[in-house]
């Protein structure tokens, strides 16, 4: 066994072996994989191993298709069979909502050049004569769908890694991981120790236990999961081809051919958690006792759809463990609080994602950043607030609703509330309907009746009208928006300015009370973040960024050592904030403070401390609404008093509370981008209009990568689009993000954000396009159906910024 390695991968399941293989493909051959038992132990060996390419997230679609394409190439490269069967997959829609989802996925498939298309009932019956298609509204066919052999795929990755120089050591449990002062690690095993630069935790069912060795707590919870395989079915035995799999997600089961019978699996409502206090060390290739009664409702729906299931005997039942994160996505990426510790835990569709997951992990470890923005997977999307109770509640909801559509803007209630601010109760009384942002409850919109809940769907929902009222109230009078979920930081010390200048691309404000907008540049030269920085004193700065990305951004701040005597600290928990915006915002605030708010005394992008109705606040003359406004930041203990004063003063001028859904509409009217949508490490500054904020006459984080991309022409550009839509028709849909954009039948871009612009009377979208000019017509595939749209030459609301600066 080697005593030194560039990386040690812990876990010999399909994901660990894929990461090992991809590390060797990127040139890291001195890598080691440690497996406590035999390869595939845990969850891999008993997986149903279905593969599919389409996903609601565009980047996950890309990596799933990479994975499916890789399997045949991997066989050729290694000589190890992956047991690939690709007879295709039939996707069935019983409901209008499912039809919308499938048509949108078909439009995305066309954009990405994938073979996923609608078929007629006659075609579907020819493809799968055992299926009863009664009651089906829409049928899609994915030509490359199918399944693989779990052991074959795992061993193919392992063989490829070994051929490239990697070492795999089986029956070698890890007993400890110890970080050294220089950031490297010692991995302790019963067979000896390995000194390594990187640890990769791909320990599957034991991910929690391996993480605990490094002092980490991962939000993971295993469950039982069952599928069964039937005896031989004569109709299948008589065929000379393999039948396509069936994705009848409204029926809440999955079904495919296995041998000469059928495999049927289900995610039942009556789920069973397992190993809540830790996965047993001796567990390996064991299964649980059969309990088919739990999945009987799902089985009956499968029998209704494929009657042959009901007449065939059951050959075997698999009831094994799976381990889940709170949102059923992998916990992926370097742990921000540790150096060189990479997580890849809680994978559910492992055989659809194994190749892409290995590729992106190797990307990140070797180059410092993955080629695609995968924040949806990033381990940093959860913090300490995602405790055991929250994790269990969310996992239970994810499992029981595995095939339920995740609608745009949907907020699920399981495990909430986790973190609330002092004004939470008052906001509930005012009718707030809450969403979740990095654990915090925050108002999405305000209903007339307290206790109102969201309806969910692809079309305009019950909040569409009230959100419009909030938008018009703010634009006509004023509104009060809770922005406490923004990330807030303070940097102070003698070298605070120089340190911030070495982190951010823009030059920090030189005068006290001034603010600037600044990009944070990623390893590949893209936009890793956007921040507002305000100078509070000669040696003190206030920084505001994306709340959901606070832990993510910690990696970048850690990349630049803090000078001695300088402190950079989060104030997100300790401080709360409100944005008072709209043409009467000055009038509201002037009633509550003796500080002059006239433009001459308090101009745009300026700040000062002041008292508002006796509450000490940091006031910034900025607003994400694109309207006249101030951000007010106060101690958490003062939040309730400040809010009540603002609401009371606002009531006198016809103003009131406004939620984040209205803010989405307002910022799109203004053409403002948002991190995670328009601003991403995938997008270059010149593509989103932030290149002007990059000061190249100073040094800052990842400047060489930025210089390289700035020498290249923009691949595409961020634009505002106005869609053809009826403002009075509540049954219509607005773009929400991810919809492809076509011109003359050719894919030219995709939507990143969308909303109805209530104050400009247009359905709007922000998106990236190429080879399209302002004024030209395109089609945006809302719900997978072409909607005419025009590319605007400027933001539809106040493009000159007169309101903002007035």
Q: Would you call 26 helix, strand, or coil by DSSP?
A: coil
Tell me: the pLDDT tens digits for 418-471? 999 999 999 999 999 999 999 999 999 999 999 999 999 999 999 999 999 999
Q: Which residue would you say has higher pLDDT here, 282 or 561?
A: 561
Residue count of the chain: 806
Determine the pLDDT at residue 372.
Answer: 96
What gap in Å lies between CA 281 and CA 735, rounded to an integer? 49
Determine the pLDDT at residue 484.
Answer: 98
Tell me: the pLDDT tens digits for 356-394? 999 999 999 999 999 999 999 999 999 999 999 999 999
Cα-atom radius of gyration of the chain, to the nearest Å? Answer: 27
Beta-carbon contacts of 773 under 8 Å, excluding residues fewer than 6 positions away, are 791
pLDDT band at 727 (very low <50, low <70, confident <90, very high): low
How much of the chain, in percent, has pLDDT values that exceed 70?
A: 99
pLDDT band at 62 (very low <50, low <70, confident <90, very high): very high
Tell me: the pLDDT tens digits for 783-804? 999 999 999 999 999 999 999 9
Is the per-residue pLDDT at 2 higher than 80?
yes
Determine the pLDDT at residue 612.
Answer: 98
Cβ(1)–Cβ(142) under 8 Å?
Answer: no
Determine the pLDDT at residue 282.
Answer: 87
- Average of per-residue pLDDT across 126-138: 98
Tell me: the pLDDT tens digits for 654-683? 999 999 999 999 999 999 999 999 999 999
Cβ(173)–Cβ(209) under 8 Å?
Answer: no
What gap in Å lies between CA 635 and CA 638, rounded to an integer? 5
C-beta neighbour count of 783 within 10 angstroms: 20
Q: Would you call 317 helix, strand, or coil by DSSP?
A: strand
Tell me: the pLDDT tens digits for 586-644? 999 999 999 999 999 999 999 999 999 999 999 999 999 999 999 999 999 999 999 99
C-beta neighbour count of 800 within 10 angstroms: 9
- What average pLDDT does the chain have? 97
DSSP 522-565: -TTSSEEEEEEEEEEETTEEEEEE-STTHHHHHHHHHTSPPPTT
With CA atoms as reference, report the closest residue to 229 among 253, 271, 265: 265
> Quick one: tokens of 728?
């009075």
Determine the pLDDT at residue 284.
Answer: 82
DSSP 442-453: EEEEE-SSTT--
Beta bridge partners of 741: 749, 780
Is the per-residue pLDDT at 728 higher than 70?
no
pLDDT band at 726 (very low <50, low <70, confident <90, very high): confident
Max Cα separation, the chain? 88
What gap in Å lies between CA 787 and CA 742, rounded to an integer? 10
- Secondary structure in 3-state letters for 471-522: HHHHHHCCEEEECCCCEEEEEECCCHHHHHHHHCCCCCCCCCCEEEEEEEEC
Determine the pLDDT at residue 696.
Answer: 98
Burial readout 714-730 (b: 16 or more C-beta within 10 A, e: otherwise): bebbbbbbbbebeeeee
Q: Would you call 440 helix, strand, or coil by DSSP?
A: strand
With CA atoms as reference, report the closest residue to 578 among 663, 519, 514: 663
Tell me: the pLDDT tens digits for 16-41? 999 999 999 999 999 999 999 999 98
| Residue 75, Ramachandran bin (φ over 0: left; ψ between -120 and 50: alpha; else beta) | alpha
Determine the pLDDT at residue 596.
Answer: 98
Is the per-residue pLDDT at 86 higher than 90?
yes
């Amino acid at each position: 066994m080697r005593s030194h390695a560039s990386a040690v991968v812990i876990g010999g399941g399909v994901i660990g072996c894929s990461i090992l293989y991809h590390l060797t493909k990127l040139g890291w051959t001195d890598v080691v994989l440690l497996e406590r038992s035999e390869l595939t132990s845990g969850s891999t060996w008993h997986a149903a191993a279905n593969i599919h390419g389409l996903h609601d997230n565009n980047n996950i679609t890309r990596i799933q298709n990479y994975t499916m394409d890789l399997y045949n190439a991997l066989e050729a490269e290694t000589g190890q069979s992956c047991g690939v069967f690709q007879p295709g997959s039939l996707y069935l829609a019983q409901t209008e909502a499912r039809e919308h989802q499938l048509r949108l996925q078909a439009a995305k498939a066309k954009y990405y050049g994938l073979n996923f298309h609608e078929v007629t009932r006659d075609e579907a019956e020819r493809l799968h004569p055992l299926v009863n298609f009664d009651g089906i509204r829409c049928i899609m066919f994915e030509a490359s769908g199918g399944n693989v052999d779990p052991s074959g795929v795992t061993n193919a990755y392992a063989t490829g890694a070994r051929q490239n120089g990697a070492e795999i050591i089986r029956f070698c449990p890890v007993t400890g991981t110890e970080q050294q002062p220089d950031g490297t690690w010692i991995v302790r095993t019963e067979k000896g120790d390995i000194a390594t630069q990187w640890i990769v935790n791909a320990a599957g069912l034991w991910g929690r236990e391996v993480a605990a060795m490094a002092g980490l707590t991962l939000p993971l919870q295993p469950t039982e999961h069952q599928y069964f395989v039937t005896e031989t079915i004569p109709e299948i035995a008589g065929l000379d081809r393999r039948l396509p799999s069936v994705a009848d997600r409204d029926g809440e089961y999955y079904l495919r051919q296995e041998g000469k019978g059928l495999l049927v699996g289900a995610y039942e409502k009556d789920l069973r958690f397992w190993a809540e206090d830790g996965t047993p060390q001796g567990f390996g290739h064991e299964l649980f006792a059969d309990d088919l009664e739990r999945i009987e409702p799902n089985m009956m729906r499968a029998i209704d759809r494929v009657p042959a299931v009901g007449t065939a005997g059951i050959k075997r039942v698999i009831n094994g463990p799976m381990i889940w994160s709170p949102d059923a996505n992998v916990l992926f990426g370097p742990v921000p609080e540790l150096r060189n510790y990479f997580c890849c835990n809680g994978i559910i569709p492992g055989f659809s994602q194994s190749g892409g997951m290995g590729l992106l992990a190797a990307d990140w470890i070797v180059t410092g950043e993955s080629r695609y923005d995968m924040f949806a997977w990033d381990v940093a999307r959860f913090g300490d607030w995602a405790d055991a109770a929250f994790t269990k509640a969310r996992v239970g909801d994810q499992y029981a609703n595995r095939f339920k559509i995740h609608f745009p803007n949907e907020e699920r209630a399981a495990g909430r509330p986790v973190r609330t601010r002092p004004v939470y109760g008052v906001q509930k009384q005012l009718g707030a309907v809450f969403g979740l942002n990095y654990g915090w409850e925050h108002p999405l919109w305000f209903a007339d009746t307290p206790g109102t809940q969201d309806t969910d769907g692809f079309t305009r929902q019950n909040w569409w009208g009230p959100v419009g009222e909030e938008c018009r109230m703010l634009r006509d009078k004023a509104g009060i928006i809770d922005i406490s979920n923004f990330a807030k930081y303070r940097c102070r010390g003698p070298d605070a300015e120089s340190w911030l200048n070495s982190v951010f691309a823009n030059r920090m404000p030189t005068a006290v009370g001034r603010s600037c907008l600044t990009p944070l540049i990623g390893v590949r030269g893209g936009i890793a973040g956007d921040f507002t920085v305000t100078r509070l004193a000669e040696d003190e700065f206030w920084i505001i960024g994306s709340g959901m990305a606070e832990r993510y951004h910690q990696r970048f701040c850690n990349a630049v050592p803090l000078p001695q005597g300088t402190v950079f600290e989060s104030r997100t928990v300790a401080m709360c904030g409100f944005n008072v915006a709209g043409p009467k915002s000055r009038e509201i605030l002037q009633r509550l403070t003796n500080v002059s708010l006239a433009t001459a005394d308090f101009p745009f992008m300026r700040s000062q401390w002041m008292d508002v109705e006796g509450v000490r606040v940091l006031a910034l003359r900025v607003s994400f609404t694109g309207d006249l406004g101030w951000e007010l930041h106060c101690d958490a203990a003062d939040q309730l008093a400040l809010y009540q004063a603002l609401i009371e003063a606002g009531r006198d001028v016809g103003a009131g509370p406004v939620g984040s859904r209205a803010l989405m509409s307002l910022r799109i009217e203004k053409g403002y981008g948002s991190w995670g949508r328009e601003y991403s490490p995938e997008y270059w500054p010149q593509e989103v209009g932030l290149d002007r904020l990059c000061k190249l006459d100073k040094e800052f984080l990842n400047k060489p990568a930025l210089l390289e991309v700035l020498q290249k022409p923009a691949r595409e550009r961020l634009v505002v689009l106005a869609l053809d839509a009826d403002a009075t028709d509540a049954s219509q849909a607005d773009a929400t993000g991810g919809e492809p954009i076509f011109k003359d039948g050719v894919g030219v871009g995709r939507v990143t954000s969308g909303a109805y612009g209530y104050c400009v009377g247009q359905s709007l979208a922000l998106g990236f396009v190429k080879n399209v000019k302002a004024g030209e017509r395109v089609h945006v595939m809302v719900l997978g159906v072409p909607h005419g749209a025009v590319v605007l030459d400027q933001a539809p609301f106040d493009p000159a910024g007169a309101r903002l600066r007035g």
